[in-house]
Amino acid sequence: MSNQNNVKKYKRLTKEELRNCKGLENYSDEQAEEAIQTIEKLSILFYELYKKEKQTSEEKINRNHKLKYDKDEGKENIKKRNVA
């Protein structure tokens, strides 16, 4: 399956939409474009941070699960040796 099919396309904020926000009504075209670019950069930064935190969290969960599994396996091996 192509990766392009899985990528959701997002509409870019327009200058008019930005100017609909309170306090931004009088932004010039140049100011609006700069604000939109800043919002896009921050969005990407926050999303990358989210992905990194999520990956770190999943790795930690997997490590803890493996440690618990290894510990349980060790107990089972000791029991088997004591029975034999």
37-80 pLDDT, tens digit each: 999 999 999 999 999 999 988 888 887 777 766 666 666 665 56
**pLDDT for 24 beyond 50:** yes
**pLDDT for 18 beyond 80:** yes
| Residue length of the chain | 84
- Among residues 52, 47, 66, the alpha carbon closest in space to that of 8 is found at 47
List the chain domain ranges.
13-83
Q: What does pTM read for this prediction?
A: 0.59
